[in-house]
């Protein structure tokens, strides 16, 4: 099945307080749960690990080495 560019995951560079879009898309994938996160809802990520998280709980678990 072909996907339109709006259905493809974006590729982002995660900075300390913001992210930069490297490849356009409408969402990213949570590094822990594989949940789709619309870009407009993306609030949690790790600049060090360059990954996105679906919730603060998931981010905390991952950063504590539990995820």
Residue 3 lies in a domain: no
Enclosing domain of residue 48: 11-63
Per-residue pLDDT tens over the stretch 16-40: 999 999 999 999 999 999 999 999 9
C-alpha 61/C-alpha 2 separation (Å) is 35
- From the list 23, 28, 30, the residue with the least C-alpha distance to 40 is 28
Confidence of residue 44 (pLDDT cuts 50, 70, 90): very high
C-alpha torsion angle, residues 42, 39, 51, 1 (rounded to 10) = 140
Q: What is the pTM of this model?
A: 0.85
Residue 5 lies in a domain: no
Q: What is the DSSP letter of 39?
A: G
Residue 52 lies in a domain: yes
The number of domains in the chain is: 1
Residue 6 lies in a domain: no
C-alpha 51/C-alpha 45 separation (Å) is 6
Tokens of 39: 């870009």
């Amino acid at each position: 099945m072909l996907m339109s560019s709006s259905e493809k995951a974006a590729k982002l560079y995660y900075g300390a307080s913001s992210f930069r879009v490297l490849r356009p898309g409408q969402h990213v994938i949570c590094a822990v749960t594989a949940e789709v996160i619309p870009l407009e809802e993306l609030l949690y990520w790790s600049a060090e690990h360059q990954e996105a998280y679906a919730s603060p709980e998931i981010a905390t678990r991952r950063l504590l080495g539990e995820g």
